[in-house]
Amino acid sequence: MEAEQDAIPQGDPFALFDAWFTEARESEPNDSNAMALATATANGRPSVRMVLLKGHGADLGAGGGFVFYTNAESRKGREIAANPHAALLFHWKSLRRQVRIEGPLSEVTPAEADAYFHSRPRVSQLGSAASDQSRPLDARRTYLDRVAELAARYDGQEIPRPPHWTGFLLAPERIEFWIDRPNRLHERRLFVRDGERWTSSLLYP
C-alpha cells in the first residue's frame, strides 16, 4: 500500500505547485518550466504549443497566477484576444507528475513586459523584434537578415521592446495535480477556486 505521506495533500495549491516545481528544477534534464499552452478561437477551435513559465505565485494579480510572454500578433496572441481563457499543462516525466491549470488571461503591464524583455539575452531580444511570429516566411535567410540588420541598427544601444511583444497572466480557477501510480492506479486531486478560497477533492483516475 502507498504511504500516507506520499498522497497529494489538501491545502494551498500554490504552495504545492512551488514544492513540485522546486523538485522539477532539480530533476528535469531540460526546461523544467516548459508548459503546454492551449488556447482557442472565439468559436472554440483549439490549438496548443509549448511555452515557458516566467513567473508564478499567489502574490501575482488579484489572487495569484502564472505568467508567460509572447508576440500578441502570433496565432496564440490573436486567439487570446478573441477568447481570453486558456489551459496550461506541466508534464514532469522524471517525477511522473502532471499539473493542469485553467483560467482567464490578462495582459501584464508595459513596465513588466519591458523588464522581462530586457532581462533576456540580447540575441533573444533581437530574434523577437525581428519576427512576425506565425506568419509565412519565404526563406530562413530573410529572418536571419532581419536579425542582423537590427543588431547593426542598435549596436551599443538598448533594443526597444516591440509594442506587440507582451506577457499574459493566467489567473487559475482550477488546478489539478496528478501522480503516476503503479498499475495505472493514478492519483488526482482537483483544486477549485471559490471566491478567495480553494476547495479540493480527489478524482477517479
Containing domain of residue 171, as a range?
Answer: 4-113+163-203
Band of pLDDT at residue 8, cut at 50, 70 and 90: very high
Q: Judge if 95 and 176 occupy the same domain.
A: yes
Which is catalytic among the residues 140, 174, 181, 184? 184
Do 67 and 26 belong together in one domain? Answer: yes
Alpha helices (H) in the chain, listed in sequence order: 13-27, 75-82, 110-117, 122-130, 140-153
CB-based contact 43:54 (threshold 8 Å): no
Residues 93 and 33 in one domain: yes
Same domain, 26 and 98: yes
* pLDDT tier, 1 (very low <50, low <70, confident <90, very high otherwise): very low
pTM of the model: 0.92
Question: Count of domains in the chain?
Answer: 2
**169/95 same-domain check:** yes
Q: Annotated catalytic, 45?
A: no
Identify the band that residue 32 occupies on the pLDDT scale cut at 50, 70 and 90: very high
From residue 112, alpha-carbon distances to 69, 115, 166 in Å are: 10, 5, 9
Examine the domain organization and report whether 95 and 182 are in the same domain: yes
- 144 and 87 assigned to the same domain: no
